[in-house]
Structure 1
């Protein structure tokens, strides 16, 4: 199957291309899993880049394109997952770890002062 030319070429409108690139950098490649679709060389990432560029060129807002990609591939495809019952622990973990670290450090400093 031939790749869509928009998988590897830029949109003619620089403003649209900037929107597409920003969106592509925030979407995860479902094949590579550690790279964004902007950085991945996987064929599926190329197809996803082409889809993003086609939709942006057609006038779709980046938020609408992101929502469509999340609907199609699941919330995991986004590097910025929405806050939900399943993802709240991911958002709360850094704060909870910081509080636990401060509490442990406070206890350690109290013991050394005595």
Structure 2
């Protein structure tokens, strides 16, 4: 892959990582200072995760300007691989079917974000 595409994936990955850390801090603060439980925020967490992967695919495609579906796919796969690595290697817990479904949706939303990102880039230029 060419250097602009690698820079686009790197920028996308950093964007997703920053958004994950920021949303984690916000959710942790909400859990700490309210009566919400982790179980009550499950759907919110999934929605935030899907939004973050969508934004990651969007950022990759806007930065590169072409091959949005491929860059979105790579952004989604990199996000999923990081999450799987942290879960399996860091915590030693196996992956369950519901997580595979969410991870698949993450890849799809990043791919869609990549397609939309190319359209946004071409409409701006």
Both proteins in one fold, TM over 0.5: no
**Structure holding more helix per residue:** 2
**Relative CO higher for 1 or 2, CA cutoff 8 Å, sep ≥ 6?**
2
Which is higher, the Rg of structure 1 or of structure 2? 1
TM-score, structure 1 normalization: 0.28
TM-score, structure 2 normalization: 0.26
